[in-house]
Amino acid sequence: MVRVEDFGNFETAWCPGCGNHSILKAVKQALAGLDLAPHQTLLVSGIGQAAKLPQYLHCNMFNGLHGRALPAATGARLANPRLKVFAVSGDGCNYGEGGNHFLAALRRNPDITLLAHDNQVYGLTKGQASPTTAQGQKTKTQPGGQPSVPLNPVAIAVAMRISLVVRAFSGEPDHLAAMVAQAAETPGFALVDILQPCVTFNKVNTFQWYKERCYMLGDDHDPTNWAAAMRKADEFGDRIPLGVIWRGDRAPFESLAPGRGTPLAEHRLDRSALEKLMDSFA
Amino acid sequence: MVRVEDFGNFETAWCPGCGNHSILKAVKQALAGLDLAPHQTLLVSGIGQAAKLPQYLHCNMFNGLHGRALPAATGARLANPRLKVFAVSGDGCNYGEGGNHFLAALRRNPDITLLAHDNQVYGLTKGQASPTTAQGQKTKTQPGGQPSVPLNPVAIAVAMRISLVVRAFSGEPDHLAAMVAQAAETPGFALVDILQPCVTFNKVNTFQWYKERCYMLGDDHDPTNWAAAMRKADEFGDRIPLGVIWRGDRAPFESLAPGRGTPLAEHRLDRSALEKLMDSFA
Amino acid sequence: MSPNAITILIGGEAGQGLATIGQLMAKALTRAGYEVCVTQDYQSRIRGGHNTFAIRTGPEPVYGPEEGMDILVALNQETVDRHAAHLKPGGMVVAGQKVDLDGHPGVQVPFTELASKAIYHNVAALGVLGSTLCGDLGILERLVSDTFAKKGQEVVDANLEVLRKAYHWFQAQDYSFHCLSPASEGNAADRIMLHGNEALALGALAAGCNFLSFYPMTPSTSIALTLIGKGGELGLVSEQAEDEIAALNMALGASYAGARACVTTSGGGFSLMVEAVSLAGITETPVVIFLVQRPGPATGLPTRTEQADLNLALYAGHGEFPRALLTPGTVEECFHLAHWAFDLTERYQTPVMVLSDQYLADQYCSVPRFDFASLPEITPPLLQVDELGTYQRYALSPDGVSPRLIPGYCEALVKVDSDEHDEMGHIEEGPANRTAQNEKRLAKASGLRAEVIPPELFGPEESDLLLLCWGSGLGACLEAVELLQERGHKASVLHFKQVWPLREDQFMPFLEGAKTVVAVEGNATGQFAGLLRKETGFAVQGAVLRADGYPLTATYVMQGLESWIA
Amino acid sequence: MSPNAITILIGGEAGQGLATIGQLMAKALTRAGYEVCVTQDYQSRIRGGHNTFAIRTGPEPVYGPEEGMDILVALNQETVDRHAAHLKPGGMVVAGQKVDLDGHPGVQVPFTELASKAIYHNVAALGVLGSTLCGDLGILERLVSDTFAKKGQEVVDANLEVLRKAYHWFQAQDYSFHCLSPASEGNAADRIMLHGNEALALGALAAGCNFLSFYPMTPSTSIALTLIGKGGELGLVSEQAEDEIAALNMALGASYAGARACVTTSGGGFSLMVEAVSLAGITETPVVIFLVQRPGPATGLPTRTEQADLNLALYAGHGEFPRALLTPGTVEECFHLAHWAFDLTERYQTPVMVLSDQYLADQYCSVPRFDFASLPEITPPLLQVDELGTYQRYALSPDGVSPRLIPGYCEALVKVDSDEHDEMGHIEEGPANRTAQNEKRLAKASGLRAEVIPPELFGPEESDLLLLCWGSGLGACLEAVELLQERGHKASVLHFKQVWPLREDQFMPFLEGAKTVVAVEGNATGQFAGLLRKETGFAVQGAVLRADGYPLTATYVMQGLESWIA
Ligand SMILES: Cc1ncc(C[n+]2csc(CCOP(=O)(O)OP(=O)(O)O)c2C)c(N)n1
Ligand SMILES: Cc1ncc(C[n+]2csc(CCOP(=O)(O)OP(=O)(O)O)c2C)c(N)n1
Ligand code: SF4
Ligand code: SF4
Ligand SMILES: [Mg+2]
Ligand SMILES: [Mg+2]
């Protein structure tokens, strides 16, 4: 039986009051709930405040480049099916620098859970607009207001029908933990876009702001109805639905990708196959 | 009066029968129809068969890197509002290598027309799967079939509500020319995803294949109805709708971005403003 | 280096406001006519951790940080614990009442008494600090008024009250610190204070830079912040790109279409720009790249300093094309070389890079006001050509430079191409054309060579010990050479503010005239020494290398030189 | 170089099947025991344009292309117009009946008579060509049977019929071409034919490579094609990535998790990988990068050849970390160095690059079968460690190498980090730790140095003229040296198949023992000569540089040497 304590208790470099603290707790809770031991889990991250999460719990960790968590996670997943793989990073990392990999993951549908801490701002680099910052919001690098509209990653993910699309909120930690667990258990790509207040740099999308808008999706929402899911995915303003927006049935990437499906570390060289292969050049 | 002949007649390096020939003709037709002289127009392209298009007509040209037509076009558009700017490239260029810029353009909505020649394959590099190749389709680099599902750029663009989203087909050249013209006249980002047979490397999505499936959207489709547009965007299989899938009313990027809106080449240094600026450091 | 210089080190957690106190104090000293040089040390986090802001100041020029301090402003206990042992004789600690001075000399300031609200504590600290240095209260008052003017008279008055109370509180203490020697007359009036990144931005604006595309990356972001914050009124167009690849491609598109464009980044972001650097090379599109280095590899130490991206900058981009690399050694050079970078890139139509690093980027200095009128005008590209029908973007020419026309102003078409192209700009794969265009591009290197800024020699032309440095290594070397000279060594510094191209004729006599040449670099492998050997065959006799994330200091250099000066 | 060697040049448009004819002919020659060396020239287009496929062949070793040809197979008129003037004495043209031989000696083959359908024309051409060389019809028959076996007996028979008809048609002509001198006995049995990229792929598979992520880019794509086409049965996992950035990051994720991984790319794609190269450096993750060069900058000449990405490969990645660069000179070396690259990267946990170029990539050669049994076993990473609780991915060690554990097999956790980290792998920004980890990584360079493959000397140790070359420059230099020796010069070739690290002790005596050292490189600036000077101070006396997109040839080298051998 894996317990929350098995993941340790680390000092973090996050600001007091930051939503990341709750996300970390929820992740531990979900892993323990799934009975996933630290060594069975791999957290792959990019760079940013969110991306520091894997530093703060016992787990295998690949802390890669800003924006590049998904390709590294995909490579690891392809190579080693023994690992439960998570990609963990911020909105800037996943939807800005790493946007192309996000698109590619939507096409591939690898068996990876993406925890996207969406504080709608670049935290670690001190408050520039992120791809999910509201249009018109003022920052130091956008003193006249962000000219672009925010990306809607949830809508795009639903449009591409990946295995699971979830919206969650760090201020609803139990729900979040349940969502993370469900995502981890879903074969195929699961996006958990987690609204997360940045108390230091985002003075618009505060805890209160989210709290006032977020509501739980009820049984009346059918996450397998694509048109309905698109409608819910499009809802981000006065009201923001939390929960499973979409559930699809696409096969996970690994089941279709070339290779034998055995962990690559266990492959041993087959000299006779090699000799035969050389014959094809004769 | 600008005439089609003003754009010249160049020998191309495309295969006989390639859909690109019709696209080139349609582009010239559209430009002439808009009375846009060669020097008023800028074609920015990436690298690929499609991306050679600007080589084959009189126009200003920025033939950049594979995947990077959109950022270069955006920079040019910001710097020089005198130019009518088109980005021209293939599906691999726009949705593969350049996917992150496609996402960013959807957020920005710059006054650029993107002509995406969508032959559902990498042509210039000889037939590998592209981001729009059908799942399961076999190629030399995907001998077991492409494991990913195709990207649906049209659906993603509608989800992001850019100014105009069009699906066209090189086999309907007059309609295509009309669509290119409408896109060019649209303030804001206009995506024209052009189905284009690659006679050499795509033996699945042939002229016939498209011809059998494509149909013109009628008056019963309201391109300003988002849910309806999403449904039409999602239609790509036995039937493929052609025409304006979505029309939105977002402001073009340039009107919101910082800067004075005058061509940057006309800026002259204001020494007294500079002196005042230095005072702020005293 | 002035014997009258002192160091004030302010320490505390991120978020405690130490940079605010430091900046105000440094500005007050600048306004009082002192020389100021700031070194900032911080961590890759927003709250907590341990940061410092060190002001070295005095009536005569100061070049860089030193290891000890005269005044330690401790915003928390950790600051005392970490640094108080390095107090110089006669030094003192300034701390709040909750901080235990641990037997070190100093004062415990009753902040809550002096200021009713916590937001005034920074100004209280400023008042005490100003008072310890026997600073002019009037200057402090004006500074506080200017700083809070935007927030209204009420806020100004409240702050002024706290300032005065704190200033007088210290004077009433039974404690005296040796006052700063008076600053030279006249120094006060014409000085400004800014850090390396601000100076780069100001130089860019003075060069008419009107386009910036960037992706945030420490320690380069404050160039972008300054360009945006200050350049808006000048009509600067800026866009935060989706990634660094977009940033440089966008800048190239803008430059092609008529902008004077730059990008700002650090090592990781620059790595992503490498392909587009090559595009700038073959399309012959002017662009300035500000590369502010931090320790790598990969994410490395995001907030620390290093000079280890020289090799990358020298060879970034596949294929062959000319470039220039400028490496300012001081805040003033940041300004001038930023301007020069735009001048060069405009005239040679090839990428020009300015390499700085976190240390210089964050180094506030007091400098004389810049003289904009003395700067050369930068020739703009053409908006019109006579030969409408025959204009060719890549017309061959002896110096490799072709007339650059901005599209849209006349009927001539402007075609630029990432593929090898003919003079018109169309794809052309033949070997004769290839050779002609490749050689045309490479020919521009001669012009760039002719205009190389020579390295600067400090000290005798023939020396026993020549310290070779580049970029931000200058200050530490200058101070080390002063120490060496005091100890009787015939020592010199040779500083390169342009590291590429190199011209032997400009410096070989100094190298050959020195008994021993030691390279001083902020990296682990001696990258500049390697470049020098490649270009001249000359091998340095020794190297003092630092790659622990901290800037070179005179003390560090002297330690490294031990075996040479025994 | 065999005086009995001849060159067959096949020319035509893209899409006319010239590569098919060429490959079949080259394979037939290989099976007959001849030495074969192919040079391909094509354009960046799918149909049209003008391409050539040149086979140089003979009973003794052949090193590379020559400028003239003995047999010109003209699939269109343009081929005659462009190339017939370079026919060597006694040479002939083989063309269809619609092609005008323009007075050149040769035959006009009645293709429509010999073959009922156009798809048989390639085999008809093969039959004629085999016949001109007095080739063994049996070998041609077996080759055709093997080639079409998959398509069924009917297709085989139809092709065989055409082959025989064409073979006999030429024999009946009143025309004779000097037959090829017989191949050495026994050569026939144990030979295979493959090009440089296929050899790289085969070497990788022989090294146990089981993961490939790539983005297509000419001229590297055929490595990926071969790995995928041939490696599938061995369990190779491959994925075409969305871009090159993803390709390398994916390979690193895979390698971390237990794969033996590589990526394939060319200059522009490699430029995009630069940041991830740095990530491989700091995370100490094994990966092999196959970089097949083409002329830049930027898109440049996509289908031509150059050796101009050496500097970029040497310094790609911000920050400092060790690497190795292997540069095969022949198809056989492609195989062996690909294998060695995996061995090195696995043992030193740092990126290893193999640099090839379009010329070598597309160069089909006949080589002896590879002896897999003689290859060293590559030690796999650990799946288990004893000290579960105390395992540290970055444990300090004298040689800089730490035990590499694959996650998921035991309870020990494997943490790798792009930030500077402690031994466990957690972020750690302190200077002492930084220095320890940075030096640990750099320490691996000593091991890599100790294992450097020495350059190979061909010719006398003390020479009048030493040709210095690397990678694919070998063939042209070897042939040039034969010509020089014939003309009485004491000439040698020094060929580097590893260009980084360099070890003076392995080659300085040869450089210093030579009267004149001339660098021969496929670039415009002498990049390797520069590296050599940087590392040793040695300056070459001259350089023969080629950067027009075409491979170095003996003729080109001899022309370049004119002033040295006057
Ligand atoms: C290639 C590269 N570019 C830029 C950076 C600088 N950088 C680090 S984190 C970050 C943004 C972080 O934003 P986000 O991903 O939203 O994470 P948050 O800090 O908000 O959790 C940036 C721009 C980097 N490390 N690497
Ligand atoms: C950075 C980089 N990677 C790869 C390539 C090679 N490349 C050139 S075109 C192309 C694909 C073209 O496909 P697409 O964009 O669909 O255009 P098409 O040829 O099908 O019109 C690739 C991979 C390149 N030029 N640059
Ligand atoms: S800056 Fe924002 S995201 Fe970062 S730790 Fe602080 S509150 Fe959290
Ligand atoms: S390969 Fe395909 S896309 Fe390219 S020119 Fe030929 S038919 Fe057109
Ligand atoms: Mg964020
Ligand atoms: Mg395509």
**pLDDT of B26 strictly over 80:** yes
Amino acid residing at D138: G
The per-residue pLDDT for D30 is 93
CB-based contact B277 C234, cutoff 8 Å: yes
Mutate to test the interface with B, among C233, C256, C378 (most CBs of B within 10 A): C256
Q: Say yes or no to pLDDT of D56 above 50.
A: yes
The predicted pLDDT at position C2 comes to 52
pTM: 0.97
Residue-by-residue pLDDT tens, chain C, 566 positions: 456 899 999 999 988 889 999 999 999 999 999 999 999 999 988 899 999 999 999 999 898 888 899 999 999 999 999 999 999 998 999 999 999 999 999 999 999 999 888 888 899 999 999 999 888 899 999 999 999 999 999 999 999 999 999 999 999 988 777 788 888 777 777 899 999 999 999 999 999 999 999 999 999 999 999 999 999 999 999 999 999 999 999 999 999 999 999 999 999 999 999 999 999 999 999 999 999 999 999 999 999 999 999 999 999 999 999 999 999 999 999 999 999 999 999 999 999 999 999 999 999 999 999 999 999 999 999 999 988 789 999 999 999 999 999 999 999 999 999 999 999 999 999 999 999 999 999 999 999 999 999 999 999 999 999 999 999 999 999 999 999 999 999 999 999 999 999 999 999 999 999 999 999 999 999 999 999 999 999 999 999 999 999 999 999 999 999 988 87
Q: Find the residue in D nearest to C421 (Cα).
A: D300
What span, in angstroms and rounded, lies between the C-alpha atoms of C201 and C223?
A: 5
CA D340 vs. chain centroid, Å, equals 15
The reply to whether residue B147 touches residue A256, judged by beta carbons under 8 angstroms, is: yes
| Angle of CA points B204, B207, B209, to nearest 5° | 50
Question: Per-residue confidence at D221, pLDDT binned at 50, 70, 90?
Answer: very high
Do D246 and D329 lie in a common domain? yes
Assess whether the previous peptide bond of A71 is cis (omega < 30° from 0).
Answer: no
Compute CA D71 distance to the chain's CA centroid, rounded to the nearest angstrom.
26
Q: Is A243 in the pocket of ligand 1 (CB under 6 A)?
A: no
A140 touches chain B (CB under 8 A): no
- Tell me the percentage of chain C whose pLDDT exceeds 90: 89
Q: Which of C352, C456, C356, C366 is nearest to C184 (CA)?
A: C366
Same domain, C153 and C30: yes
User: Locate tokens 């995009």: which residue?
Assistant: D272
Name the one residue in this structure whose structure tokens are 């415009």: D524
Distance of residue A130 Cα from the nearest chain C Cα, in angstroms? 9
* A contact test, residue of C242, C245, C292, C303 with most A CBs within 10 A: C242
**Subunit contact A253:B148, Cβ cutoff 8 A:** yes
Question: Three-state DSSP class for D113?
Answer: helix
Amino acid at B249: D
Q: Please, are residues D67 and D404 in contact by the beta-carbon 8 Å criterion?
A: no
Do D416 and D527 lie in one domain? The reply is no
Return d(Cα C30, Cα C48) in angstroms, integer. Answer: 30
Q: Hey, is B239 helix, strand or coil?
A: coil
Cβ atoms of C326 and C380 within 8 Å: the answer is no
Residue A101: name the closest of C34, D242, D21 by CA: D242
What was the pLDDT predicted at C1?
Answer: 43
pLDDT in tens, D236-269: 999 999 999 999 999 999 999 999 999 999 999 9
The DSSP symbol for A143 reads: T
Task: Look up residue D313 and give its two tokens.
Answer: 């490969």
Q: How large is the average pLDDT for residues D166-170?
A: 94
Of all protein residues, the one whose alpha carbon is nearest to atom 1 of ligand 4 is: B123
Q: Are C274 and D271 in contact (CB under 8 A)?
A: yes
D139 in a structural domain: yes
pLDDT at D179 over 90: no
Domain co-membership, C134 together with C233: no
| Predicted ipTM beyond 0.90 | yes
**CA pair distance B139, D415, nearest whole angstrom:** 37
Q: A140 and C225 in contact by Cβ < 8 A? A: yes
Contact predicate C215/C243, CB 8 Å = yes
Enter the tokens of residue B235. 């239609």
Q: What's the rounded mean pLDDT across residues D367-394?
A: 93
Residue D176 has pLDDT above 90, yes or no: no
Number of helices (H) and strands (E), helices first, in chain A?
9, 8
Same domain, D329 and D362: yes
φ, ψ of residue C264 in degrees (nearest 5): -130, 140
Same domain, D399 and D529: no
Give a yes or no: residue D381 inside a domain: no
Q: Could you tell me if residue C542 is inside a domain?
A: yes
* Structural domain containing residue C50: 6-191
Q: What is the dihedral of CA D199, D205, D206, D210, to 10 degrees?
A: 160
Task: Please give the structure tokens belonging to residue D52.
Answer: 């050539």
Which pair of structure tokens corresponds to residue C336?
A: 């001038």
Of the candidates C183, C302, B147, the one whose C-alpha atom is nearest the C-alpha of residue D228 is B147
- Type of residue at C398: P
Q: Is B45 in the pocket of ligand 2 (CB under 6 A)?
A: no
User: Is the pLDDT at D386 greater than 50, yes or no?
Assistant: yes
The CATH number of the domain holding residue D511 is: 3.40.50.920
Give the residue numbers in C contacting A (CB under 8 Å), as ranges: 15, 43-49, 215-218, 221, 224-225, 228-229, 232, 238-240, 242-243, 268, 298-299
- Judge whether C389 is closer than 8 Å to chain D, CB to CB: no
Q: Which of C172, C191, C210 is the last residue of a domain?
A: C191
| Lowest mean pLDDT segment, chosen from B129-138, B273-282, D295-304, D538-547 | B273-282
pLDDT digits (tens, 9 = 90+) for C345-355: 999 999 999 99
Last residue of a domain, one of D308, D340, D374: D374
H helices of A85-233, where?
A: 91, 99-108, 153-159, 173-185, 207-213, 226-233
- Determine, yes or no, domain membership for C381: no
Nearest in space to B46 (alpha carbons), one of B92, B111, B103, B108 = B92
Q: Position of tokens 């009128």?
A: C373
Whose tokens are 């990049």? That residue is D527
Instruction: Judge contact between B216 and B171, C-beta under 8 A.
Output: no
Distance CA D37, CA D55 (A): 6
Angle between helices C431-450 and C331-348 (to 10 degrees): 150
CATH number of A4-279: 3.40.50.970
Average pLDDT for D52-81: 93
Amino acid D3: pLDDT: 64
Sign of CA dihedral B269, B271, B273, B279: positive
Rounded Cα distance between A43 and D426, Å, is 13
- Residue that is last in its domain, among C402, C421, C450: C450
- Whether D481 and D412 map to the same domain: the answer is no
CATH code (residue C110): 3.40.920.10
Dihedral pair phi/psi, residue C151, rounded to 5°: -90, 0
Structure tokens at B15: 């295969």
Say if D52 falls within a structural domain: yes
The reported pLDDT for the residue numbered B149 is 98
* 3-state secondary structure at position A137: coil
Are D434 and C301 in contact by the 8 Å Cβ rule? The answer is yes
* Mutation choice for ligand 3 from A11, A18, A125, A132, CB with most ligand atoms inside 8 A: A18
Position D379 in a domain: no
Are A71 and A85 in contact by the 8 Å Cβ rule? The answer is: no
D357 and D472 together in one domain: no
Domain membership flag for residue C462? yes
Question: What are the pLDDT digits (tens) for B55-81?
Answer: 999 999 999 999 999 999 999 999 999
Can you tell me whether residue A63 is helix, strand or coil?
A: strand
Mean of pLDDT values over D132-161: 93
For a ligand 4 pocket test, name from B22, B199, B206 the mutation site with the most ligand atoms within 8 angstroms of its C-beta: B199
Residues in contact with B257: Cβ distance below 8 Å, sequence separation at least 6, in sequence order: A147, B78, C237, C239
Q: Are strands B240-247 and B164-169 parallel, antiparallel or unpaired?
A: antiparallel
Tell me how far apart the alpha carbons of residues C453 and C457 are, in angstroms, rounded to a whole number. Answer: 12
Number of domains in chain C: 4
CA of C244 to the centre of ligand 1 (A): 12
Strand order in the sheet with C415-417: B214-216, B240-247, B164-169, B190-195, B112-118, B84-90, B41-45, B60-63, C415-417
* Per-residue pLDDT reduced to its tens digit, D485-532: 999 999 999 999 999 999 999 999 999 999 999 999 999 999 999 999
- The radius of gyration computed from the CA coordinates of chain D, to the nearest angstrom, equals 25
CATH assignment at residue C266? 3.40.50.970
What's the CA gap between D156 and B235, in Å, rounded? 45
In the block, which residue shows the tokens 């031989």? Answer: D101
C341, C382, C284, C252: which is closest to B266 by C-alpha?
C382
Class of residue D368 by CB neighbours under 10 A (exposed 0-12, middle 13-18, buried 19+): exposed
3-state secondary structure of C225: helix
| Together in a domain, D35 and D55 | yes
Whether residue D312 and residue C315 make contact (CB cut-off 8 A), yes or no, is: yes
Average pLDDT, chain A: 97
Q: Is the sign of the CA dihedral D481, D485, D486, D488 positive or negative? A: positive
Q: Which tokens hold the place of B220?
A: 């019963």
Q: What is the pLDDT of residue D145?
A: 95
Name residues of chain A where pLDDT drops below 50.
none
Rounded to whole angstroms, how far apart are CA atoms B4 and B89? 21
Our separate counts of H helices and E strands in chain C read: 18, 21
DSSP element (H, E) containing A280 = none
Is the same domain home to D321 and D413? no
Q: What's the pLDDT score for residue D1?
A: 43
Tally of residues, chain A = 282
Together in a domain, C490 and C440 = no
Q: How far is CA A176 from CA A115, A244, C85, C182, in A?
A: 10, 11, 48, 63
Q: C364 and C404 in one domain?
A: no
